Structure 1
Amino acid sequence: MSVLDAVLVVAALLLAVGGAVAPRTARLAAPVLLPLLFAGAGFQLLFEGFVVQRVPAYLLLGVATWLLVRTPRRTLPAALLLGVLVPVATAVWALPPVPRLPPPDGAYPVGSTVLRWVDESRPEPATADPGDHRNVVVQAWYPAEFGSMPRQYLYLDGHGDLPATISGIPSVLLSRYHLIDTHAGADVPLADDRPRWPVILFSPGYGAPRAVYTGLLTELASRGFVVLAVDHPYQVAVTELADGTVAHGVPNSGTDAEMAAQLAVRTADLSFALDRIGTADSVLTGRIDTTRVAAAGHSFGGAAAASALAHDPRVIAAANIDGTLYGDLPDQRLPGPYLLIDSDPALTGHSAAYVDGNRKLLGGVQGGGHHYTIGRTDHLGFTDAPLFLAPPVRTLAARWFGGERSAVETRRATADLLAAVLGPPLGERPADVAAVASRYPDITGGPV
């Protein structure tokens, strides 16, 4: 919430309460405050456009004005103030128009670039047009050169053509999310500390655009990894294709057979991204080693990461964050290393398919398996979604949304575990994974 938002809410609330319980005193302040408040609201509407989250603030302003000019002049019941005005004010604070992402805490500043490609060898299975070919979109997050001048990077693809909802959030509430500060510079130079940087492929959850993992991915990039976040068109809510078309998610049956087919598409997307990133003209050209890559993902993207490890020899380690497995993936003999990170089962309620499939896959890992559960974190706690709520509301809603562990701590703990397991195969310094997990309360598990 901006300073102007806060001033509008607090001043309108004070005037409304004053008009109800102390009208004479409030009327003394009204000739000065009301014009300023209306001017502030007008400024917002004129220069920033309509924002639905601000409607409660404007309602408060209207209530304050009515209470100061109404007749007869009598005190309103306290129940009305508590039952109407305070909830309205709380609603304003609940969903800030531009959420704030905490900056990553690694040693490097972060850069980002977006690459959009067409795989001419594959038709697009989600559309009826036989001339459509599969698009793959990659946003790279990487260690940037110190002294690079960062600027805000677009948070969502297709911002002007969003679907009705994104990850369950009405898109009308996302109208200013393009102003979210990702703490990254667009197309700034890659840091020159190393001739080549280790690579982590990342696949998002089904329906979730890559954007909602920005906090975790920038955290990894700040620690010295080039993270290639792959958007899978038509499987995620919104993706801008290579020709500028905005693709929305396509529903599917959710059966094991359908999800297995979608998983095969994702696995091919990840391999194609590795094929192209090594030859594409970008700030990464010649600076990454695509013969030694780790894969990671959340939810359905976690299954895709495991599948990439099973099917692409360039992927030499993988991590699945809270992902159910489909098809024959539980029967694969992964070369490893392989990491499974669970959210708290008491909050997420993992299905039998999740539990049984992951137990079977872990039992067949040949090169070192690890399994950790992050307590007090639910399935959405690994995304940016909890940060879309204002801090007080986030705390109140934690039991049902995100978990009681802070979003920043969940992000940091997840990044620590990923770096500890995926880093050494990529040439990073060996880490004591158990010691990393022990830094945080309520994280259980170990090697399997």
Structure 2
Amino acid sequence: MTGVPEEILSTTRTHAVADAEPLDRKLPLVVLSPGHSFSRSSLTGLAEDLASRGYAVAAVDHTYEASAITFPDGRITECLICETKPDGPTIARSRAIDVSFVIDELTGSGLIDADRIAMAGHSLGGAAAAHAVREDPRIRAGVNMDGTFQPELTEDLDRPFLMLGADKHGRPGADETWDASWPHLTGWKRWLSVAGTAHSSFTDYSILAEQLGIDVGGEPMTGDRTAQITRAYVAAFVDLHLRDRPQHLLDRPSPRYPEVRFENP
């Protein structure tokens, strides 16, 4: 989005408020990890939706991986890997360590139910989710939103995992790591393809770019519709696995969301 006047992006309005008082009970936690070079703000819509459903949400900026990260003491770090080809597997593992540290800090606050934690990530954040779920037993379930598995899974992962992304199955240039990793997901699992989406469709950028007239992939689905689908399926997944609430949305195709196809049933 280079060339967009700063005042347009800086005045984007959200439904969240600063310094809100926490509830007087422990909440289930969902940790969010953005794509390579993306800010945690790219997942604001999903974070707000989950918070409105009674979840604590921690969106993580991974140091030296986003354009600018401001620390509480005023220090600002820039993206040191944005101009180079990143070593995906190493970064995904590093992010998993970041997430475990965040969980350490938050569970020590007394505000989080340590027995009900999930993680969702977009792109490289989705790869990190697979690592984090495997390495940290506190994370009960994970979501990969259109991210290449880095590396593809070669060992079994027996906790619930949702793969939600653009249509990758049997297409030229499809992400082969999804096919290769699928058999190693040995717990509850779903692979959902959303027709008409592009890579950034599962972030806020699809909505912002559409409003600014920026082409992010030429796919036909509107940003509002992809946001609605992303929120519905991620919420259903965490409700099922963190709150034990049955979710028919995850059992079969839904007439409410005809764009969503169940792969490898």
TM over 0.5, shorter chain: yes
**What TM-score do the two structures reach when normalised by structure 1?**
0.54
2:89 is matched with which residue?
260
SS at structure 2 position matched to 1:170: coil
Residue of structure 1 equivalent to 2:180: 360
Paired with 1:392 and 1:265, the residues of 2 have a C-alpha distance of 34
Of 189, 192, 201, 1:372 maps to 192
Output the CA distance in 2 between the equivalents of 1:186 and 1:437. 37
Aligned to 1:331: 154
What is the Cα deviation at residue 390 of structure 1? 5.9
Counterpart position of 1:302: 126
- 1:414 Cα deviation from its structure 2 partner: 1.1
Paired residues of 2:193 and 2:263 also in contact (CA < 8 A): no
Q: Select the residue among 218, 224, 227 that pairs with 1:411.
A: 227
* Match of residue 243 from structure 1: 73
- 1:265 & 1:171 partners in 2: Cα distance? 32
Matches of 1:191 and 1:218, distance apart in 2: 16
Asked if 1:429 is matched to 2:221, the reply is no
Cα distance in structure 2, aligned partners of 1:442 and 1:313? 34
Deviations 1:167-193 (A, max 9, x none): xx226533443322111111212345x
SS at match of 1:224: coil
Answering whether residue 109 of structure 2 is matched by residue 293 of structure 1, we say: no
Name the CA shift for 1:290/1:171 in 2 (closer, same or farther; >3 Å): farther
Find out whether 1:445 has 2:257 as its counterpart: no
Q: Give a deviation string over 1:346-403, Cα, whole Å, max 9, x none.
A: 9xx7845x32x22222211121110000111111111222332464947xx57x34x3
**Of the two, which has the highest radius of gyration?**
1
What's 2:103 paired with? 274
Partner of 1:184: 16
Distance 1:425 1:404 in 2: 32
Which runs of 5 or more structure 2 residues have no equivalent in the other structure? Answer: none
Paired AA for residue 150 in structure 2: Y
How far the C-alpha of 1:270 sits from its partner, in A, is 0.4
How far apart are the structure 1 equivalents of 2:128 and 2:103?
Answer: 14
Deviations 1:191-213, CA, capped at 9 Å, x for gaps:
45xx3221111100000001122
**1:204 aligns with one of 19, 34, 42:** 34
Provide the rounded CA distance (Å) in 2 between the counterparts of 1:360 and 1:183: 39
Matched, 1:173 2:2: no
What do the CA deviations read for 1:244-295 (whole angstroms, capped 9, x no partner)?
111111136536xx2211112111000000001122xxxxx42321233111
Q: Give the conservation status (yes or no) of the 8 Å contact 2:126–2:147.
A: yes
Residue 300 of structure 1 and its aligned partner are, at CA, apart by: 0.3
Q: 2 CA distance for matches of 1:331 and 1:351? A: 21
Q: Which has the higher contact order (CA 8 A, sep 6+)?
A: 2
For residues 389 and 378 of structure 1, what CA distance do their matches in structure 2 show?
Answer: 12
- 1:439 CA displacement: 1.8
Look up the equivalent residue of 1:196 and give its one-letter code: K
* Residue 422 to residue 377, structure 1, CA distance change in 2 (3 Å): same
The answer to whether 1:340 aligns with 2:180 is: no
Cross-structure match for 1:76 = none
Change (3 A) 1:427 1:390: closer
CA contact (8 A) 1:437 1:444 kept: no
Identity %: 30
**Local SS of the residue matching 1:184:** coil
Q: Relative to total residues, which structure has the larger helix share, 1 or 2?
A: 1
Measured on the aligned residues, the alpha-carbon RMSD in Å equals: 2.5
- Count of aligned pairs between the two proteins: 262
Residues 322 and 341 of structure 1 are in contact (CA less than 8 Å); yes or no, is this contact kept in structure 2? yes
Q: Kindly indicate whether the alpha-carbon contact (under 8 Å) linking 1:371 and 1:447 is maintained by their aligned counterparts in 2.
A: yes
Matches within 5 A, 1:59-208: 169-170=1-2, 173-191=5-23, 195-208=25-38
In structure 2, C-alpha distance between the alignment counterparts of 1:267 and 1:390, rounded to whole Å: 32
For 1:170 and 1:392, how far apart are their aligned partners in 2? 11
Give me the whole-angstrom Cα distance separating, in 2, the residues matched to 1:408 and 1:261: 34
Name the aligned partner's letter for residue 303 of structure 1: A
Partner of 2:47: 217
Contact 1:199 1:227 in 2 (8 A): yes
Distance verdict in 2 for CA 1:344–1:362, change over 3 Å = closer
| Letter paired with 2:195 | G
